[in-house]
Chain A
Amino acid sequence: MENFSLSRCELIRLNRDTFIVTFSEKIDFEPTQFIMIETETSIVRKPFGLGRWNDRLAIGVQVIGPGTAYIVRQEKLNAHGPCGKGFVPPKGRGAVIVTLACLPMVFDLQERYDCDVFIGSVDEPWIEVPFPLVVGDEAFLKMLQSLNGYDWFLVIGSDQMEKIVYDVLKDKAEVFVSFNEYMACGIGACRGCAKVTKHGLKHLCIDGPVLRGEEVWS
């Protein structure tokens, strides 16, 4: 865990509002860990999943407001991390289902664990994506229904998308979910990112971000 300044290398536009930002710095991290990035639009930093693109440190950003717009605009960013626990799946073959904005996070998962990657997107991507990708709700649901023979699933995306994935896949194998919750410190100090689970309160910045879906939704 440390403070660092990130220098932007590339800004790759994936579609209308989604970008990959790559940085020249190297940071050791575990799959699904994240960094907290400072913006000028909020008094708290924002969490972004760590990943890679073209062998560089990268984050995916969907621009949904002034804070995310700031992040894709800046040449230098202040951040701290890596935060959270790295995801370690159970034995067996898994499937990782992500939104386009989470694309950088999947390379380390696939490198380290036996898994396939599937991407769901609202819009067609503007660049070629090296994984099976479906566009639109109907195609996404059909894709989920076709996923059989896996020992575990991991989903990373929006709250709504994650719940849909959990509901469709929960009877096929264990579904792990990278949960989203408002964060302030990202290091376990403030207790702001509490999540109610059947095992009591958990804090996503230290117990997560990945939890078993059934802990929260069963």
Chain B
Amino acid sequence: MELRPPIVIASGVGGMGEYLKLIDPRYIGAYTLKTITFKPRLGNPPPRLIATERYLINSIGLENAGVEKFIEELENGLYEELFRKVKVIFSFAGEDFEEYLKVAEKMAPYQDRFVAFECNFSCPNVHFNPLSDTNQLKKMLIELRKKLDVFLIAKLGIEGAFIEQLARLVEECGWNGVTIINTIRALHIDGETLIKGGISGPVLKPIALRAVYEVRNRTNLYIIASGGIMNETDAQHFFKAGANAVSIGTALYRDPTIVERIAKRFL
């Protein structure tokens, strides 16, 4: 996969393409859609967000209308403008191993539309953590690889096992890349309000940087680095650690024009 510029809009943050209203598509290497699951998901009840200067905790919970609805929208041309303007990465997940496979089966006929499929194995806002059972994970990686010919990316987090071990498994199963890292489980308490969610933002940078470094030293996978990239210097650090592309997520909330500034540096 070649992305020019090597900048990806992160899944979840980027919604279903809404940021094209605020970012010139010339500066986007690929746009990852919000994660689609097999069944529709309402997501978590509000409040869903809390932000400070250094981090954001979100508890969205993979709200989406499910893969059948997504395919219906795809066939009805809802995303044509998006496809025309940028390369698109399809992100998907399931509530168990079986559901990951079902989404892959449903989406297999459409895989040519996308530059890659990103399998979200690490959402901190759902109860199922595929990374905690490496035997099952391996079986699923092999099955998904059989079902899909597209460039396959595993989105990994740091909870479950050492990320470099997981990445090696991903590579052994014939996958092409990893997006590292996802948000990390976090808790916010304010009076009676309690938000259990995933933390993102600048606080993640040293953790994500180490993860990229370790994975680069042990695999030849395509690495999309994600976690605390807020400016050009951060992006440069991730490339130095071994990333092939950087994913911009939470930084979009502070300033969508950051994508253009980083892209101009690396175009």
Contact = CB atoms under 8 A, between A and B. Distances in A.
Nearest to A192: B49
Q: Is the interface on chain B under 10, 10 to 19, 20 to 34, or 35 or more residues?
A: 35 or more
A195 interface: yes
A194 B43 contact: yes
B47 A80 contact: no
Interface stretch (B52-60, B74-82, B207-215, B231-239): B52-60
Nearest to B44: A194
Interface string A125-167: 0000000000000000000000000000000000000000000
Contact of A189 (B14, B201, B202): B14
A142 to B, nearest CB: 31
Contacts of A195: 46
A192 B21 contact: no
B51 interface: yes
Interface in A179-206: 181-185, 187-196, 200-201
Contacts of A183: 49
Q: Is the interface of B mostly helix, strand, loop or mixed?
A: loop
Interface string A58-74: 00000000000000000
A43 B13 contact: no
Interface residues of A, number: 29
A38 B230 CA distance: 14
Contacts of A188: 15, 18
A182 B50 CA distance: 7
A50 B50 CA distance: 24
A43 B201 contact: yes
Contacts of B146: none
B257 A3 contact: yes
Given A192-B49, A201-B43, A201-B63, A187 B254 contact: no
B49 A189 contact: no
Contacts of A189: 13-16, 18-19, 34
Contacts of A41: 53
Contact of B58 (A3, A187, A192, A201): A192
B15 A185 contact: yes
Nearest to A200: B42
A3 B22 contact: yes
> Which among B13, B15, B19, B49 has the highest number of chain A CB atoms within 10 Å?
B49
B172 to A, nearest CB: 35
B49 A185 contact: no
Given A189-B13, A190-B13, A1 B21 contact: yes
Interface of B: 12-16, 18-19, 21-22, 34, 42-43, 45-56, 58, 60, 63, 201-202, 250, 252-257
14 contacts: A43-B55, A43-B201, A43-B202, A78-B255, A78-B257, A182-B48, A185-B13, A185-B253, A189-B16, A193-B46, A193-B48, A194-B43, A194-B48, A200-B42
Q: Which 6 A-B pairs have CB atoms at the shortest separation, nearest pair first?
A: A189-B15, A189-B18, A192-B49, A1-B21, A44-B253, A44-B51
